[in-house]
């Protein structure tokens, strides 16, 4: 009897994906880290503005995934986080990494930083820090990305990404 392809959640690593043959493919975080590291070593990345910031996307993904599963986060905020995570894993979005390659993660990076900043402004900075898988402060990382935002995405893309956030109440 064959195995079905599927996924299971692993704390700190995301969904563990399995192949139809039953072998482990890895987590989304591992795939993301591998793609980012390979791209950072490329000639394209060397000429790309703010390329080093891409290294923050995998831990941002982990922190947001942890926050999405944390029952202390209100439903409205959790919905915003889940929408952002869906955006990050989708290969075809405003700047589709499915078409342009790893450099297409720049909109995902900006959106993840916007969501972290949004959660901090709503009083959930501590929760985000609890789920941050690395040393350092995720809020400082988010602010660094947002300061570089206009060099990563154009104004129209930035404005469209803001619509993924719930309105302030």
pTM of the model: 0.82
Nearest to 161 by CA among 121, 129, 118, 120: 118
- Specify the pLDDT at position 6: 40
Is pLDDT of 5 > 80? no
- Specify the pLDDT at position 113: 98
Q: Which two tokens stand for residue 101?
A: 């390659």
Please state, in angstroms and rounded to a whole number, the distance separating the CA atoms of residues 149 and 117.
Answer: 13
- Specify the pLDDT at position 98: 81
Is pLDDT of 11 > 80? no
| Domains of the chain, residue spans | 29-162
Is pLDDT of 148 > 80? yes
> Per-residue pLDDT tens for 91-113?
888 888 888 888 889 999 999 99
Please state, in angstroms and rounded to a whole number, the distance separating the CA atoms of residues 165 and 77.
Answer: 9
Please state, in angstroms and rounded to a whole number, the distance separating the CA atoms of residues 88 and 77.
Answer: 17
Gap between the terminal Cα atoms of the chain = 53
- The per-residue b/e assignment along 75-89, b for 16 or more CB within 10 angstroms, e otherwise, is eebbebbebbbebbe
């Amino acid at each position: 009897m064959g195995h079905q392809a599927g996924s299971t959640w692993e704390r700190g690593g995301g969904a563990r994906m399995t192949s139809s043959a039953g072998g482990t493919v890895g987590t989304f975080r591992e795939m993301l880290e591998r793609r980012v590291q390979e791209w950072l070593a490329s000639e394209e990345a060397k000429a790309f503005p703010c390329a080093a910031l891409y290294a923050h996307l995998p831990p941002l993904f982990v922190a947001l995934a942890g926050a999405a599963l944390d029952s202390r986060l209100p439903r409205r905020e959790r919905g915003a986080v889940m929408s952002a995570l869906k955006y990050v894993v989708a290969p075809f979005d405003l700047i589709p990494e499915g078409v342009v390659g790893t450099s297409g993660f720049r909109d995902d990076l900006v959106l993840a930083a916007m969501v972290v900043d949004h959660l901090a402004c709503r009083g959930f900075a501590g929760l985000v820090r609890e789920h941050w898988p690395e040393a350092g402060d995720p809020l400082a990382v988010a602010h660094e990305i947002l300061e570089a935002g206009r060099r990563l995405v154009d104004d129209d893309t930035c404005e469209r990404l803001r619509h993924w956030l719930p309105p302030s109440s």
